[in-house]
Structure 1
Amino acid sequence: MPFPLTGRAAAIALAAALAAGAGASFAVAQSKVGQSKKASEVVASEKQAFSVETVAEGLERPWGVAFLPDGRMLVTEKAGRMRIVLPDGKLSAPVTGLPKVDARGQGGLLDVAVAPDFAQTKLVYFTFAEAGEGGVNGTALGRGRLAGNAPRLDDVEVIWRQTPKYQSTKHFGSRIVFAGDGMMFVTTGERSDREFRVKSQALDETLGKVVRLTRDGSPAAGNPFDAKDGAKPEIWSYGHRNIQGAAVNPADGKLWTVEHGPRGGDELNRPEAGQNYGWPVITYGKEYSGADIGPSQKEGMEQPVHYWVPSIGTSGLAFYTGDAYPAWKGSAFVGGLAIPTLARLELDGTKVTHEERLLEDFGERIRDVRQGPDGMLYLLTDSEEGRLLRLKPEKARS
């Protein structure tokens, strides 16, 4: 059903009803996953049976995964390491050449993405928390060339930096998305603290923003504020909190994102050029203390496509287009950290018509979700003993 946005009371009531209904529909499907976690354990969800396979393990707080054309994968670890995962699941030694990262708090080595023309350029892009003088830090975007089969990046450079840097260990974002026009979107966080969060509304800083860049890190031509005095020309949209999931939806060719709310109010958005998504002026969440932050709506500020109350802790976003799970084609998948889950969203244009929660009894936080070249879904679990998982389609047992 569609989700009309008519105020916080309606939001809370609707979310509670949705959670109750969804819980009834998939309780049986999840009954044994958390106990077994074996590849042979078949999960019979609403439309698709599957099992969970471990592709690689022994990853320390993995954050992002990207697929190389030869079947290998790149995985980042929060502490500042990048690994090459071989097709048999073996991990390389840490990739050398990366810059030093500030791994305190929510910082570290974050997303990783392979250039669309990787076969020719060998370019790999990554985001990370970069330290500055005096204890300040901020999100930065780097790139380097993968050296053949060796675990090494050459010609590494930082090509974009969030400005300014602040002294905080929270809310760095960040995801990297290549768009169909050849440009690149990078998402950021607003650093969380009250003195910083208001900067997500400021156009002279890049906290709490989606930025649109060329592949060398320069502001892309045609950005909405490139001719506005005092505004950062790379800004695409603003008023965001902490975006940890982003993907282009093949159905419309547009960027979609998921961001963390505070206590409630995680959001799925479809950021449009120059639009204001409201944080911290409007939100469907509250302070962690339970205090109100603001209203849920205000003229001139965009409403989310979908929101979660309570928060699931959104991280990772993928639109499924493959053939491995035919009944899931067109669904969006979102990882959950605060509530360890994989949320499957059915869409009708820009409306979410149904939500199914998968793997709620699995017991592992989902940091990233991607569709692989083989048409299967891959997940990263967020823990000191993190894993790269693959959902294998199965026939439901009668």
Structure 2
Amino acid sequence: MSGRFASLQPVSAGFLAAIVGFASSFAIVIQGLTAAGASPAEATSGLMALSISMGLCAIVASLATKIPVSIAWSTPGAALLATAGPLEGGFSAAVGAFLVCGALIVLAGLIKPFGRAVAAIPAPLANAMLAGVLFGLCLAPVRAVAELPFSALVIIAVWAIALRFVRLFAVPLAMVMTFAIGLSSSGPIDLSNVQPITEPVWIAPSFSLEALISIALPLFIVTMASQNIPGVAVLSAYGYRPKSGPLFTLSGVFSMLSAPFGGHAVNLAAITAAMCAGEDAHKDPAKRYWAAVTAGAVYVLFGLFAALLMAFVAATPTILIEAVAGLALLGAFAFSISEATKAPADRDSAIITFMVTASGVSFLGVSGAFWGLLAGGAFMALSRTKTAK
């Protein structure tokens, strides 16, 4: 019996990891794609493309390396899209930026000096930029309470209680409650026009300097600094020594494949990586890669039925979806701001980066994330020059 249980461990761990990874952040992805100018059909296609891409990427990487390589969509990247807003040229320009971001990730994996240069971006600035991007989204639960007090407070209460007793399920349970409230107010959902299997939508990309600076470069930086590099660190913490270059390249290739269908980026996972790489996945570390393979297969299934999920989202008040997204990002915000301000010598530079990014102000058509990183970097360089003298 124990042997049978051991054989089921990777399957159950991978299934749980996929549910947590998808349910805890898909609302952020939908919000980000919509804010970037995607229509409902394009946002659904993007969700499908991302789910299938990260599922297939996890399966390929894990089977090839015999390491539990967990793949996720770029949640910080989706948050960045939600704050950057639509571009001139619409969602087509955003798709062009997604392609450029994917190409940069491929280069980071293929060209070692380029990868090292990305890793050399000061951690306080990268974390401060991410915290600035997340700040406005984390205020959504407060705005929801002001707009729909009863519904928002019920959702927050479910999240808080679950966070205390079953932490991993806090956001999924809050999402279930959100859909339940949406159904109770809108009535039965009409699924007669919903395709059982999601249909992909091809979006022809266009390219512009504004999209490159406002989306492609910040998306690349937050994806590498907040997802890919920590993802390798998590695997290392569990005793695995993956070659990061090929993994970055593979995730960049799948990012580029998903971009024309509306997907922004896929990358190495961190939280779900811990679920698939830990002892709960299997006592034998050599067999834990099956957990990541299982999670990948479940992600593919989620992608195929993304249209059904979007039908529930459409029936739910947007502010409540945003509130759940904000709750899901609180932990990431707290970690980012803590890491950004941990070193006293770099605290001022980090705060400048955070404030400029969080302001949401754009200059010359370029979003605050880029200017925040630039302002913080300039102040850090000045401070270190002054100290050296």
- The two structures have a TM-score, normalised by structure 2, of 0.25
Which protein has the bigger strand share? 1
